[in-house]
Amino acid sequence: MTVKTWLESSVVDEATKEELRAVTNEEELEDRFAGLLEFGTGGLRGIIGAGTRRMNIYTVRHATQALADLIISKNIEGAKVVIAHDSRNFSREFAEAAACVLVANGIDVYLFDELRPTPELSFAVTDLGCIAGIDVTASHNPKEYNGYKVYWDDGAQLSPENADVVFAQMKETDMFDEVKTVCMCKAKEHITVLDKEYDERYLAKVLEQRIDAELIKKQSDMCIVYTPFHGAGYRLVPEVLKRAGFKNIVTVPEQMVLDGNFPTVKSPNPENPEGFARAIEIAKEHHADLIIGTDPDADRMGLIVNANGEYKIITGNQIGCLLLDYILRSKKALGILPENACAVKTIVTTELAAKICAKYGASFVNVLTGFKFIGEKMNLFKETGCNTFVFGFEESYGFLAGDYAHDKDSVFASLMISEAAAYYAEQGKTLWDALVALFEEHGTYVEKTVNIQMTGFDALDKMKSLMAELRANPVTELAGLKVLECKDYLNGIDGLPPSNVLYYTLDDGSVLVIRPSGTEPKVKLYVMVSAADKASAEAKAESLGKAFTAITDAAV
């Protein structure tokens, strides 16, 4: 499909045609129409704009038609789909466009009346008995982006097999002539709107995850500063904290405003400390105990804690370990930790989790990168009874307990980290003190992520070439440390499905993992080390990161 096709189509609206006519850069036009946005397990993600490789009404309709074809092929009578969206530009329009295509294909829809957290969508899929869910979001990407996530009937993101079916169908379906749609006025007859009343069901499940409600009452005046970064957590995160018993919640007013341009931050990503600048100012004014931030679709949670007047950033790995330790510790003390308790983490997430699990007699399982794989293990545990899922997390600030949802949940994480803070406050300690204690007991763990950026129209080819080179010429030594083992997940090992990942274990126990990003033109290197103290661990991580990137730079 070409620019000419779009300009001559009666389906394409005039504003879109005007946008295309205004593009004078040939390279940009080529990029806009260089095939389709790839549909993977994370659905679609791309820059908003006109063209087959951009996020717009037509690419959203196209993907939805392919999804509808998959649903129809399952021959499930009365199949329904639930749709949610975040605060990004055009998210509501894209959500309604998807609903109209589904209705045109004979599929009834549940549609949230306004933006909602992604985990509530995951919960709603199973709670409402839907075959699938659609969430219009680009998570924590910059404002220029939007995306389209698809969930299957278990509430987890689409499996690789189903994602491949959808993408194959997209390639076979004409974006204009073979996509069915109706106007919203007609579609409404087959759309059930979910309003604030439905939130009660979701909030009830999140509140069930509390371990010690009485503890929260004792520390109800603990000051918590919260920012949703202009996104979907703006209402439900403060609400769940209040219902749990926390009375002193201070929000960042400028960032409570819903705005897809995210005007107060460079990036609405809770992993980036600079986004918390205003929240830290407010925290200092109120002598707050902790600062919580959630990304635009409210599935990820970032944390900053008060350490004797200094506000310290806690990484995703560290948050996960604090939560894991608190959950296992508290449940064991109360006698409610199952004998077959099991935590699940991704292979790029800190090895400290294994030490924590061992301390409390729990097991842990590694899965591939992506919370959908944690969801798969949750299903397996439930089906076989081999383990009881107690907690799952990934280094990229995603956390979950309970089985009410199958995706990471910042609403839950905000509640549980606040309860953990209350637990330590009862002992005159902070979350920072708790983290230091973990390191004193198990060694100091440091994790570093290095993004190896690829540029140009051949960026994807460069990514493939780098991974091929690393396989053809295996790394045997890094910064004076020998590589004991290199696991190649390309053909599937350790009971995990095939994935383009290389996993290096060094002779001192350090781990390095390299994989291409699924959403951006870069290869991600994860460095995970431990040492007796922070300075030594950080120096080791830096040294290993530089040694490996020297190899990758030469390869590219």
pLDDT at residue 457, rounded to an integer: 75
What's the rounded Cα separation, in Å, for the pair 92 and 195? 15
Residue 91's CB is within 10 A of a number of other CB atoms, namely: 26
Q: Percent of the chain scored above 90 by pLDDT?
A: 93
User: Which tens digits make up the pLDDT trace of 177-187?
Assistant: 999 999 999 99
Contacts of 155 (CB under 8 A, 6+ apart): 122, 123, 125, 126, 133, 375, 405, 406, 407
41 band by pLDDT with thresholds 50, 70 and 90: confident
Closest by alpha carbon to 234, among 250, 248, 255, 220?
255
> pLDDT category, 324, cuts 50, 70, 90?
very high
Q: Record the pTM.
A: 0.94
> pLDDT category, 547, cuts 50, 70, 90?
very high
pLDDT average, residue stretch 458-485: 94
Predicted confidence band of residue 456 (pLDDT cuts 50, 70, 90): confident
- Residue 229 has, within 13 A of its CA and on its CB side, a CA count of 34
Distance, in Å, from the CA atom of 441 to the CA atom of 128, rounded to the nearest integer, reads 45
Q: How far apart are CA 540 and CA 552, in angstroms?
A: 18
Task: Note the pLDDT tens digit of each residue in 521-546.
Answer: 899 999 999 999 999 999 999 999 99
Average pLDDT (197-217) is: 97
Query: Contact 181/101 with Cβ under 8 angstroms?
Result: yes
Reply yes or no on whether 10 is catalytic. Answer: no
User: For position 556, what pLDDT does the model report?
Assistant: 77
Which is catalytic among the residues 87, 91, 122, 139?
A: 139
Q: Are 450 and 549 in contact (CB under 8 A)?
A: yes
Domains of the chain (ranges; CATH) run 3-201 (3.40.120.10), 218-442 (3.40.120.10), 444-555 (3.30.310.50)
Closest CA to 293 of 140, 147, 407: 140
| pLDDT tens-digit map of 214-252 | 999 999 999 999 999 999 999 999 999 999 999 999 999
Q: By CB neighbour count within 10 A (0-12 exposed, 13-18 middle, 19+ buried), where does 247 fall? A: middle
Residue with tokens 């220029």: 144
The answer to whether the CB of 133 falls within 8 A of the CB of 155 is yes
Give which of 392, 368, 345, 377 is closest to 487, Cα–Cα. Answer: 368
One-letter amino acid of 384: T
d(CA 161, CA 246): 44
Rounded mean pLDDT, 258-264: 96
Whether the per-residue pLDDT at 520 is higher than 80: the answer is no
How far is 473 from 486, CA to CA, in rounded Å?
12
Under the banding of pLDDT at 50, 70 and 90, the label for residue 160 is confident
- Kindly report the average pLDDT of the chain as a whole number: 96
Confidence of residue 384 (pLDDT cuts 50, 70, 90): very high
